Amino acid sequence: MRLVFLGPPGAGKGTQAVRAAQELGIAHVSTGDMLRSAVARGTPAGKKAEPIMKAGGLVPDEVVLEMVDERLGSDAAEGFILDGYPRTLKQGEDLDRILSRRGMKLDAALELELAEEVIVPRMAGRRSCPKDGRIYHVTANPPKVPGVCDACGGPLIQRPDDREEVVRKRMEEYRAKTTPLTDWYRAKGILVRVDANGTVDQVWARVKEALSKVAKAKGGRG
Ligand code: ADP
Ligand code: AMP
């Protein structure tokens, strides 16, 4: 399966993509995670991305394209969920190009739909593990011990770009640059919309159902 997860920041893409990738046995490719890792390691791409991410802007298309292309040639070669990529029409076109160069094609773009008034508290309560990228929420999805990653025992952080003023900028970027992608995938006939309201398990049940329909349709095509 080759999938893209779309939706506003805080909709639950990362949370659901981790489960779906595990269930399907495919790679979870999060450009946000890759960029945060590049920033932490101080690579040239990380140095370029850091101030832009801090301000809630979008990192240049070429920087993320290179990262995604590399994954398509390695762990994502047999199937993937792209989480947070593409984010602009140009990135959507870039993705089609690098996929077709490898003889690959997307099976679906799954959009998690959520109203802004629900998004804001989700982002405000998000805590993440900087070491392994695990995502928690202080009330909706808390770690067993507050402030501590269940998996590695390391300290959880609040992402610097989850501060309210940066969240507002990220939402603006999403509205202006990412929503046109939804229409683009709809026109291609591969857009699948999922209601992202409710608990993590409720949304997961809907995601699973949507993915099994995609798998069936893919099987039917041969
Ligand atoms: P995205 O990848 O779309 O930015 P995340 O998966 O990081 O979103 O989720 C944002 C925050 O909301 C996290 O703190 C996560 O634990 C929490 N969250 C995810 N799904 C739900 C849900 N269905 N209900 C409540 N909180 C959720
Ligand atoms: P995310 O983890 O998906 O919320 O992304 C965090 C930040 O990383 C975004 O606000 C952007 O600054 C940057 N980023 C992640 N993915 C992309 C992308 N596909 N294009 C441009 N910038 C990105």
Bridge partners of residue 82, in order along the sequence: 4, 29
Residue 85, both tokens:
């990529």
Contact at 8 Å (CB) between 53 and 59?
yes
Tokens 């140095």 locate to 47
What pLDDT shows up at residue 79? 97
Instruction: For ligand 1, say whether the CB of 13 is within 6 Å of any of its atoms.
Output: yes
- pLDDT tens-digit series, residues 92-135: 999 999 999 999 999 999 999 999 889 988 999 999 998 888 99
Question: Residue 194 CA: which ligand is closest?
Answer: 1
State phi, psi for 193 to the nearest 5 degrees: -105, 135
The whole model's pTM is what? 0.96
Instruction: For ligand 2, say whether the CB of 7 is within 6 Å of any of its atoms.
Output: no
Contact at 8 Å (CB) between 145 and 154?
no
Closest to 107 in 3D by CA, of 185, 17, 171, 177: 185
Tokens 């993705």 locate to 95
Give the chain as a DSSP string.
-EEEEE--TTSSHHHHHHHHHHHHT-EEEEHHHHHHHHHHHT-HHHHHHHHHHHTT-PPPHHHHHHHHHHHHTTTTTT-EEEES---SHHHHHHHHHHHHHTT----EEEEEE--HHHHHHHHHTEEE-TTT--EEETTTB--SSTTB-TTT-PBPB--GGGSHHHHHHHHHHIIIIIHHHHHHHHHHT-EEEEE--S-HHHHHHHHHHHHHHHHHHHHHH-
Question: Residue 202 CA: which ligand is closest?
Answer: 1
**Residues across the chain:** 222
What pLDDT shows up at residue 222? 55
To test the pocket of ligand 2, the residue of 5, 13, 29, 31 to mutate (highest count of ligand atoms within 8 Å of its CB) is: 31
Instruction: For ligand 1, say whether the CB of 206 is within 6 Å of any of its atoms.
Output: no
What are the residue ranges in the chain where pLDDT is below 50? none
Nearest protein Cα to ligand 2, atom 10: 56
